[in-house]
Structure 1
Amino acid sequence: MGRSRGGYSTKIHVSVDGLGNPLELRITGGEKSDITQGEELIEGWQRKDTKVIGDKGYDADKLIEKIGEAQAVIPPKRNRKTQRHYDKHLYKERHLIECFFHKLKQYRHLFSRFDKLARNFLSFLYLVSALFWLK
């Protein structure tokens, strides 16, 4: 759980499958950059037929190289010196991740951040994710 001037802040990093079901979950403090968790989220998903879709926060050469044979669908940041090409049509599938977060917001316990300990927050996040898999 991160601490900022406004109080506690936490980022949830998630990788989902083609149906929007969570595969990997990580939490960090709100002040941390997204790219710090990018490599851990894609661990084991670098097959040729896999597509790794992320937002601009995950745009880094190191992560693109780590993705390897899989197709990286990450839009480049505006201030990037060499702009990369990405499949804009395929990037629209990122809505699966957004839908996952929308489903999370149905659980008041999560979005209100009642837990003050990271392990409790992550445990409830795992519980809710298991419920998504059962539906």
Structure 2
Amino acid sequence: MAVPLLSVAAPAPHLIGDKAYDADSLRYWLAERQIKAVIPSTASRRTPYPLNRRIYRRRNVIERLFCRLKNWRRIATRYDRHASNYLARVALAATVAEWIK
């Protein structure tokens, strides 16, 4: 599901992901679009891809935001029926979560 999601998102110079996204098909798709994959290689890969650790450390900020969003029960359980309402709640909760910290 990563490729359909990324195809509608705005292009970025880097894609930061975890080991679950270490697939050759995704890496080739990103390379075709001149997007640098900052994804650590899985332990089963014989020749690991190089990893820019300085950029990969920025993933921590995103992970902490998701952890704070999980504290909002309505977002964690997705009570809203419509995607637009859910997106509005996520935006509101993310704003408040970052503001309060």
User: Which TM bucket (shorter chain)?
Assistant: 0.7 to 0.9
Q: Secondary structure at the match of 2:50?
A: coil
TM-score (norm 2): 0.72
Q: Which residue, out of 69, 88, 98, partners 1:127?
A: 88
Q: Structure 1 pair 97/121, CA: closer, same or farther in 2 (3 Å)? A: farther
**Any idea what the Cα deviations from partners look like across 1:9-35, whole Å, max 9, x if unmatched?**
xxxxxxxxxxxxxxxxxxxxxxxxxxx
Higher helix proportion: 2
How many residues matched? 93
Q: CA deviation at 1:75?
A: 0.2
TM-score (norm 1): 0.56
Look up the match of 2:71.
106
**In structure 1, how many angstroms separate the alpha carbons of the residues matched to 2:78 and 2:24?**
37
**In structure 2, how many angstroms separate the alpha carbons of the residues matched to 1:114 and 1:62?**
31
Report if the CA contact (8 A) 1:58-1:74 is conserved. Answer: yes
Report if the CA contact (8 A) 1:52-1:73 is conserved. Answer: yes
**Any idea what the Cα deviations from partners look like across 1:45-72, whole Å, max 9, x if unmatched?**
445xx11000000000110111121111
**In structure 2, how many angstroms separate the alpha carbons of the residues matched to 1:38 and 1:124?**
23
**In structure 2, how many angstroms separate the alpha carbons of the residues matched to 1:64 and 1:98?**
22
Report the aligned-residue RMSD.
2.6
Higher strand proportion: 1
Q: CA deviation at 1:85?
A: 0.8
**Percent identity for Structure 1 against Structure 2:** 29
Look up the match of 1:57.
20
Report if the CA contact (8 A) 1:46-1:67 is conserved. Answer: no
Q: Secondary structure at the match of 2:60?
A: helix
Consecutive unaligned residues of structure 1, counting only runs of 5 or more, are 1-36
